[in-house]
Structure 1
Amino acid sequence: MKWTFVIQQKMKAALLLGCIMVLVLVSVLLSRSNIEGIDKSFSSLYADRLIPTTDIVYLTESLYQKRLLMEKQFMAREENSWENVSSQLHAHNQRIDSLVGEFKKTYLVKNELVSLRAFQSRHSEYARMEQKIVSLGKAGNPSAGLALHANQGNVLFQKTMTRLRELTQIQSSVGKELLRKSHRDVLQFVFLSTIQIVMVIVIGLMVLGLIRSSKMIHSKSEPFHLN
C-alpha cells in the first residue's frame, strides 16, 4: 500500500512538474518575443525616427538658404550673377531631392507618406517659381522677380514649411507611441521573469519534498527488510 501511495504521489508530482515546465517554456517564448519587440522599437526609433528628423532639419536649412540666396541677390542687384544663383539653387534642389529619397527609404506611416508627398508637390511648385524669378532677373526685369518672390514666393514657402512641420509632428507622435510600446514590453518582460523565478522556486521545493518523502518511506521500510 505504501508503494502504491508513493507511485500515486510521484505521478501527481510528475504531472504537476510537467505543467510547470510547459508554463516556463511558454513564458520563456513570450519573454523572447518581448525582447525582440523592444529591440525593434529602439531600432525603429533610431532608423525611422531619429535619422529622418535629422533629414527634416537639413531640408529646412536648404529651403531657408534658397530663400536667403534670393534676398541677397535682390539686394546686390547684379544682373550678371543670376547664372550663379541658378547654379546654387540647382545644387540645393538636388540636395533636397536626395534627402527626400533617403526619407522614403524609412518606415512611413500613412499620414507621414501623405505629408511627404504634399511637401514634394509644394517644393516642386516653389522651385518652378524660383526659375521664373531667375529668368526675369536674366532678362533684366528683377523688379518683377522681386514682386513674385515677395508675394507668391512667400505663400509657397510657407506652405512648403507647413508640410515639414507636419512631418516633424508625426515623427514626434510615432516616436512617443514606440516608447510607450517599449515600456509595455519591458513591464511584460519583468512580469514574466518574476513568474519564471517563482516557478523555479516551486520546482525546487517539490524536488526537495520528493527527496524528503523518499527518505522517510525508506526509513520506515528498512526494519521490515531486516526481519
Structure 2
Amino acid sequence: MKWSFVIQQKFKAAILLGGIMAMIVGGTLISRYNVEGIDESFSSIYQDRLVPATTILYLTENLYRKRLSLENYLYSDERQLPAHVKAQLRAHDRSVDSLIRLFEKTYLVDEEAKSLQAFKSQIARYSKLEEQVLALCASGAFADAKQLFSAPGATTFESTILNLNELAGIQSTIGKDLMKASKVNVASFGIISFLQIALAIITGLVVIVLIRNSQIIQKPRSDRNKSQYFNLN
C-alpha cells in the first residue's frame, strides 16, 4: 500500500512538474517574442522615424536656401550672374532629390506616403515657378519677376513648408505609438519573468516535499529491521 501511495504521489508530482515546465517554456518563448518586439520598435524608431525627421530638417534647410538665393539675386544691388544663380538652385535641387529618395527608403504609413507625394508635387510646382522667374529676369522684366516671386511664389513656398511640417507631425505621432508598444512589451516581459521565478520556486518546493515524503516512508522500514535484529540477539 505504501509503495502504491508513493507511485501515486510521484505520478501526480510528475504531472505537476511537467505542467510547470511547460509553462516555463511557454513563458520563455513569449519573453523572447517580447524582446524581439522591443528590438524592432527601437530599430524602427531610429531607421523609420529618426532618419526621416533628420531628413525633413535638411529638406527645410535646402528649401530656405533656394528661396534666399533667388531673393538675393532679385533684390541685391550687386546682381549675380544668372548662370551662378542657376547653378546654386540646381545644386539645392539635387540635394532635395537625394533627400527625398532617402526618405522613400524608410517605412511609410499610408498617411505619410500621401503627404510625401503632395510634397513632391509642391516641389515640382515651385521649381517651375523659379524657372519662370529666371526667364523673366533673362528677358529684362525684373519687376514682373519680383512680383511672381513675391505673390504666387510665397504661397507655393509656404504650402511646401506646410507639407514638411505635416510629415514631421506624422513622425512624432508614429514615434509615440512605437514607444507605447515598447512599454507594453517591457511590462509584459516583467510580468512573465516574475511568473517564471514563482514557478521555479514552486518547482523547488515540490522537489523538497517529494524528497521528504520519500524519507518518511523509508524510515519505518529501517526501524522495523532494527527491531528484528534486536530480537535475534
Q: Give the TM-score, by structure 2 length.
A: 0.95
Provide the rounded CA distance (Å) in 2 between the counterparts of 1:25 and 1:80. Answer: 74
Deviations 1:117-162 (A, max 9, x none): 1000011000011011111112211211111000110110011111
The equivalent residue for 1:74 is 74
Query: CA RMSD for the aligned pairs?
Result: 1.1
The equivalent residue for 1:216 is 216
1:126 aligned counterpart, secondary structure: helix
Counterpart residue identity of residue 89, structure 1: L
Provide the rounded CA distance (Å) in 1 between the counterparts of 2:140 and 2:104. Answer: 40
Provide the rounded CA distance (Å) in 1 between the counterparts of 2:73 and 2:187. Answer: 58
Counterpart residue identity of residue 4, structure 1: S
Provide the rounded CA distance (Å) in 1 between the counterparts of 2:138 and 2:218. Answer: 109
The equivalent residue for 1:22 is 22
Deviations 1:1-54 (A, max 9, x none): 001000000000000000000000110000000000000000000111111100
1:107 aligned counterpart, secondary structure: coil
The equivalent residue for 2:129 is 129
Label 1:182 to 1:80 Cα distance change in 2 as closer, same or farther (>3 A): closer
Gaps of 5+ in 1: none
Conserved? CA contact 1:79–1:137, under 8 Å: no
Q: Give the TM-score, by structure 1 length.
A: 0.97
Instruction: Summarize the alignment of residues 183-202 of structure 1 with structure 2, pairs less than 5 Å apart.
Output: 183-202=183-202
1:13 aligned counterpart, secondary structure: helix
Provide the rounded CA distance (Å) in 2 between the counterparts of 1:51 and 1:175. Answer: 12
Provide the rounded CA distance (Å) in 1 between the counterparts of 2:32 and 2:143. Answer: 67
Deviations 1:54-101 (A, max 9, x none): 000000000101111111111225566111111110110110010000
Counterpart residue identity of residue 144, structure 1: D
Matched, 1:89 2:89: yes
The equivalent residue for 1:165 is 165
Instruction: Summarize the alignment of residues 120-159 of structure 1 with structure 2, pairs less than 5 Å apart.
Output: 120-159=120-159
The equivalent residue for 2:38 is 38
Conserved? CA contact 2:34–2:185, under 8 Å: yes
Provide the rounded CA distance (Å) in 1 between the counterparts of 2:188 and 2:78. Answer: 67
| Identity percentage of aligned residues | 44
Deviations 1:166-202 (A, max 9, x none): 0000000000000000000000000000000000000
Conserved? CA contact 1:125–1:156, under 8 Å: yes
Q: Which has the larger radius of gyration?
A: 2
Decide which moves more: 141-150 or 169-178: 141-150
Provide the rounded CA distance (Å) in 1 between the counterparts of 2:140 and 2:77. Answer: 10
Conserved? CA contact 1:52–1:103, under 8 Å: yes
Label 1:78 to 1:137 Cα distance change in 2 as closer, same or farther (>3 A): farther
Provide the rounded CA distance (Å) in 2 between the counterparts of 1:97 and 1:39. Answer: 31
Compute the displacement of 1:225 (Å).
4.2
The equivalent residue for 2:231 is none
Conserved? CA contact 2:73–2:80, under 8 Å: no
Provide the rounded CA distance (Å) in 2 between the counterparts of 1:144 and 1:120. Answer: 26
Provide the rounded CA distance (Å) in 1 between the counterparts of 2:31 and 2:54. Answer: 33
